[in-house]
Structure 1
């Protein structure tokens, strides 16, 4: 099924680039230049992924991300200006899957969109056979290839791309302590300016989504002054 992507940005050049780039890859892209237009389209279409500018003439992209994440688990990618790159990082704290900095590079845009659609596509598909399990702990099961996590009852736990990549990085270094810089580099694939609160926010969400048994400590342990380690 062709994925539907709703793009919100008040820059016509950005909308054109995103639409042309992603439509060449087989996506259906619907552009919106205003928040009311975005809301109307979102109410009428079955959107798989949102691409949202953090800075808008008539609204706040970060507030919209918070609203969308509370309502659904659909993919969200933020677009921020280089001078406001911190907005994109803040978006990761509140549940966005990824963030890109304008001016956009087409190859990077395609790669990030593909990764998020892979997550949302897997979550939507009811596969008759569970993919290969790579790691298990206290009833939880993790498939690194399928990028899925299940609880002890066999129910899938919906994780954003950043949440899954952080969990996978900690599992890959089980028993080792990773600094926040190492974690950010692992989940973004390149070195970002270090924002401690971004990593802390993702860790906090993972702890809520993957809680330990009653009375047991969290699977992700804080090593004060250093970083985090996975003990599951």
Structure 2
């Protein structure tokens, strides 16, 4: 297997050297960038599997980059920041980052998070259309609802007209959790565990923001209530919409 490519964007020379050495010894090809301009240059020259991005940069804010990268489910995005406030972590999750690590950090923890992301991105890229969606649906790899198809193996989501709907990792995991427990009410804690695992604390705003984005990306026919139903004081449930009666 080829060595994964990691692009680290951070203007802290000490941290960059530390991660460069650790990730290289761990089997990664590491490219360093200290500015958004340099990041853009490296991104244009090479494909990367993992992006590790600081938020505070000399020529701008890393959030705009993360929003762009989150549209590609074949790469992983880790925010590395000195900002430990809850609001910063929530924003990072809402815009599509896969993980958020605050400085100072443990190198072993960073390596573990990188490996977890690589498992996900490698699986996504290696999926080939060896079976039709209908065959995968019969085996339980595809969940159908109201014409939509969520392909769990390939981590792809399709509209009733066959168009692919791009979901971030967090959005995909949230929708999959709701569909696997169709008709059941899931608390925000349960949904956050499904999205990011137990390492993430539960932030109501983060889950609410993801649900709002999913509702916008997954429209329902006019006159129907949405598939994702709010259960006040508890969380959310997924169910097929019922026709509105006048």
TM class, shorter-length: 0.7 to 0.9
1:85 Cα offset (Å): 5.2
2:218 corresponds to 1:210 = yes
Gaps of 5+ in 2: 241-246
Of residues 224, 228, 238, the one that matches 1:220 is 228
- For the residue of structure 1 that corresponds to 2:128, the secondary structure is coil
List per-residue Cα deviations over 1:99-155 (Å, max 9, x = no partner).
Answer: 222333344434433444455445555612245525221222334344333333555
Matched, 1:229 2:237: yes
What is the deviation of 1:6? 1.2
Distance 1:124 1:220 in 2: 29
Number of aligned pairs? 231
TM-score by length of 1: 0.80
* Cα drift, residue 162 of structure 1: 1.3
2:179 matches 1:171: yes
Residues in 1 aligned to 2:129 and 2:207: alpha-carbon distance in whole angstroms: 34
Residue 2 of structure 1 and its aligned partner are, at CA, apart by: 4.2
* SS of equivalent residue, structure 2 residue 236: strand
The 2-side partners of 1:31 and 1:218 are apart by 44
C-alpha separation in 2, matches of 1:155 and 1:122 = 22
Contact 1:184 1:191 in 2 (8 A): no
Q: Which structure 2 residues correspond to residues 67-146 of structure 1 after superposition, within 5 A?
A: 67-69=68-70, 74-81=75-82, 83-84=84-85, 86-121=87-122, 123-124=124-125, 127-130=128-131, 131=136, 132=139, 133-146=141-154
Distance 2:61 2:20 in 1: 22
Structure 1 residue ranges without an equivalent (≥5):
none
Matches within 5 A, 1:182-201: 182-190=190-198, 192-201=200-209
